[in-house]
Chains A and B, each alone.
Chain A
Amino acid sequence: MISTPDFRLSLALTLALLGSAAYAQEQPTQGGRLTISTSAEPPMLDPTSSTSAEISSIMYDNVLQGLVKIAPSGKIEPSLATRYQVSADAKTYTFVLRQGVKFHDGSAFGPSDVIAALKRAMDPKSGHTHAEYYADMVSVSASGPNTVVIVLSRPNADFLFNLARADSVIMPEGKTDAMKSAPVGTGPFKFVSWQRGSAVTLERNPNYYVKTLPYLDGVTFRFISDPNAQLAALRSGDIDVIGSGLAPENALSLKQDSNFKVIVGSSTNKLTVSMNNARAPFNDIRVRKAVQYAIDKNALLQGVMLGNGTLLGTHRTPNESCYYDLSGQYKPNLQLSRSLLQQAGYTAQKPLKITLTLPSQYVYAVRTGQAVAAQLNRAGIQTEIKLVDFSTWLKQVFQGGDYDMSVIGHAEPNDIGIYANKNYYFHYDNQKFRDKFEKYQRTTNRSAACISMRALQKQLADDAVNVWVQELPYMAALKNRVGGWWNDHPLPSLNVTQTYLRK
């Protein structure tokens, strides 16, 4: 799939390192403090009250945990529940809770906390930002001292995954309001402070239920958005890890420095050239297809991301389950693109003119957008770039649907369902897709659900809803001393549970 020699080389190196005896048998060392830079500051610290990926990055599993969690492999693993059972009709979920667990404030974790958290989650009026994940829930109740039973009105293929998301973390009963700025959880690290504009500091939880974890005494997440400042901070020794927002050109220079290790791992971030399917010209599938043929994704991947990442062909990454590789469906073909435009009524005399609205805060989106505009102009589609700040983008493009074309990364895992919502900013309105999505959600047989999921991906590609350019890879740079870092990111999480500093 990935064909750049650079990536293959780094993959080979990574495999070689993993295979070498030193790494395979390395005993993690206890102690030490780690400073990690992140490129943006979270708007708050409670992942159940905001969908911002920055919150999950810092808090997920480090501080806040749910009944189940997502492992780096993408597999769903037990967390606060030691085991779970799904009934034959896929409507009853029984969770056996871990015993003797204490929240960071000293209170005991028990069924009542789980019930309170999930009741709040399923109530659309509670301020939970993703109540629709729990819409099929009928009841959640305790059965015995350490068992919780959830009953659904109908089967839901994504329900367990949704319980593993950061939206489903369990906090002490009745303390939700304080969580936005001082979260209390059960994870290996306790929240210490949030210096607004500067850093979030965590400290080792001495009462963590896995006795050997965590290895580190403390972690500080520092917000450094400027790529040059990140590089300077790492090279000067002020930080140990550039945890997010590493620019491809900086990755290139750090790869040549033996003091650091560069990680290019998988993510669920889909770099999307979105089109407004609701209004002219992109309500015409011929025009959307003309755009697909006009864009050379591989040139974008090589030129903008310097070869890092995987080409995509639909709204899903290889990191997510039941992936269907459709990246080859529309090969660059200017002639075909022109003839499609002609059929739609656009000629050299009367060319298609569009506006490409880009959120200026996101460097990758701006760079990609500029290259896309150049490719479209070459294909005879006159593209004008409009740079706006992110709040304006949210208001005009995302909420208002007042745009032709835009570029942004969709980081949320397993989010193909946004296409079933015709009010979502692509304004893709296809009953066939909605029916297929409903069918997928109600299928509990794993392999049958996968077939439905693949059909959904194919439908999007056939309708040429958007141009899915590539998976924006997870890129980080670490000091050589840092071990136990997540390479692949099946959800936004800088998980430091098993991270350690070599002596």
Chain B
Amino acid sequence: MLNYVFQRLLGAAITLLLAAALVFGILLTIPGDPAQTLLGLDASPTALAQLRHQLGLDQPPPLRFVHWVTGALHGDLNQSIRYDAPVSRLLRERLSLSLPLIGLTLVISSLLALWLGSAAARAAQARSGRDTWITAGAVLLSALPSFWVGLMLMLAFAVRLHWLPSGGFPGWQEPGRAALALVLPVATLTLTRVAILARMVRSSLLDSLSQDYVRTARAKGVSERRVLYRHALRNALIPIVTVLGVQFAELLTATVIVEAVFSLPGFGTLILSGIEARDYPMVQGVVLVLSALVVLVNLIVDLSYGLLDPRISYG
């Protein structure tokens, strides 16, 4: 198993380097001048030239890339051009918002999906109409765009009822207000994401409920609850966990929109402002860390298969 983990980590390092090079190349092909973006319309040419020199933008691109990679290997992600602050510090600040946002969404939508999906599966087995309702509701929710759902929630709970803030983030030094600020964004992401997971749970459960061992368990007189959660669900979890891994990567992109709607200073808005300002070090830094996160989560998903199904081993 250790051998397997080592191999995967090596692959991850190569993936990350390729991702960084790709992003660097793409950024070079889009026109833009970070110095002009920073200094504004009417800045004098001398001031512009000086800033370009100061930022090292007058060096050839390959050299800049090598500098950046060497820095990154030493744990130095360089200085953000847009914000005149270390990229690593900005990332830490932003991830302290975005990771809880994504984490909470994953946990809540998984629990909700398990409940809804198993209810639908049981209803389907009993040929009850509830299955149709749950499935139809799930399809409808997944069809709604997240920015619209976010605005509607904002309208209802912030503007009309005044229960929750309409956006912004006070920072974790005020834990109560910070948690409140996350309620609507998490709800938006959950509402638009839960459907896919719930349908996965339903079909996967239905699959295992028709297996022989379930019939045997039922014949032994095991309670229906225990049949569902102990026997069928455990075997249905592998495809569900796989989808969860994919969901994590998708949530990373979905938060970009939700953060913009709720004006949250997360990494989504960070990468957007980085691209707008042609802040090369910042965009590269964010992409590097996000790629690392995705690779890590996929590794965890792969390793969890072994825990869920002892027949799987990592030779």
Contact = CB atoms under 8 A, between A and B. Distances in A.
Contact of B167 (A124, A233, A237, A415): A233
Contacts of A486: none
Interface string B149-185: 0010011001100100111110100000000000000
Contacts of B151: 228, 232
Contact of A128 (B40, B47, B94): B47
A235 B159 CA distance: 6
Given A50-B39, A226-B261, A232-B154, A394 B46 contact: no
B31 A198 contact: no
A236 B165 contact: yes
Interface string A407-450: 00010100100100000000000000000000000000000000
Interface in B275-304: 275-278
Interface in B219-276: 260-263, 265, 269-270, 273, 275-276
A415 B42 contact: yes
A197 B166 contact: no
A44 B278 CA distance: 15
B44 A124 contact: yes
B85 interface: yes
A238 interface: yes
Contact of A399 (B36, B261, B276): B36
B50 interface: yes
Interface stretch (A150-158, A302-310, A385-393): A385-393
Contacts of B159: 232, 235-236
A229 B167 contact: yes
B208 interface: no
Indicate the member of B43, B85, B263, B275 with the most A CB atoms within 10 Å: B263
A390 B37 contact: yes
A448 B194 CA distance: 72
B187 interface: no
A238 B165 contact: yes
B90 interface: yes
Nearest to A400: B31
User: Which bucket holds chain B's interface residue count?
Assistant: 35 or more
A229 B42 contact: no
B138 to A, nearest CB: 27
A196 B80 CA distance: 11
Interface stretch (A129-137, A330-338, A457-465): A129-137
B236 to A, nearest CB: 40
A398 interface: yes
- Interface size class for chain A? 35 or more
B30 interface: yes
A249 to B, nearest CB: 15
B151 to A, nearest CB: 6
Nearest to A412: B42
Interface string A30-72: 0000000000010110000111110000000000000000000
A233 B165 CA distance: 8
A444 to B, nearest CB: 25
Contacts of B167: 224, 229, 232-233, 238
B212 interface: no
A195 B36 CA distance: 23
B39 A233 contact: no
A41 B30 contact: no
Contacts of B40: 43, 50-53, 129
A145 interface: no
B119 interface: no
A35 to B, nearest CB: 9
B37 A391 contact: yes
A367 B167 CA distance: 27
Interface string A333-372: 0000000000000000000000000000100000000000
Contacts of A132: 44
A89 to B, nearest CB: 28
B44 A389 contact: no
A181 to B, nearest CB: 5
B217 interface: no
Contacts of B37: 43, 390-391, 394
Contacts of B202: none
A199 B94 contact: no
Nearest to B80: A196
Contacts of B277: 43, 391
A38 B33 CA distance: 24
B25 interface: no
A396 B276 CA distance: 15
Nearest to A418: B42
A127 interface: yes
Contacts of A180: 84
A129 B277 CA distance: 18
B154 A129 contact: no
Contact of B270 (A197, A235, A395): A197
B193 interface: no
Contacts of B155: 232
Contacts of B262: 229
Nearest to A123: B46
A197 B269 contact: yes
From B31, B82, B261, residue with most partner A Cβ within 10 Å: B31
B285 to A, nearest CB: 14
Contacts of A400: 31
A124 B166 contact: no
Contact of A129 (B33, B43, B158, B269): B43
Contacts of B83: 181, 196
Contacts of B73: none
Nearest to B169: A198
A416 to B, nearest CB: 12
A410 B40 CA distance: 11
A315 interface: no
Interface of A: 41, 43-44, 49-53, 124-125, 127-132, 180-181, 195-199, 222-226, 228-229, 232-233, 235-238, 361, 389-392, 394-396, 398-400, 410, 412, 415, 418
Given A226-B263, A233-B263, 15 more contacts: A43-B82, A52-B39, A124-B46, A129-B42, A131-B44, A181-B85, A222-B263, A226-B261, A229-B262, A236-B159, A237-B162, A238-B166, A238-B168, A391-B37, A398-B41
27 contacts: A43-B82, A124-B44, A124-B47, A125-B46, A125-B50, A131-B46, A180-B84, A196-B90, A197-B94, A197-B269, A198-B168, A198-B169, A199-B168, A222-B263, A225-B263, A226-B263, A232-B159, A235-B159, A236-B159, A238-B165, A238-B168, A389-B276, A391-B33, A391-B276, A392-B30, A394-B33, A395-B31
Interface of B: 30-34, 36-44, 46-47, 50-51, 82-85, 90, 93-94, 151, 154-155, 158-159, 162, 165-169, 171, 260-263, 265, 269-270, 273, 275-278
Closest 10 CB pairs of A and B: A51-B40, A197-B265, A391-B32, A236-B158, A198-B265, A395-B31, A129-B43, A52-B40, A236-B166, A232-B166
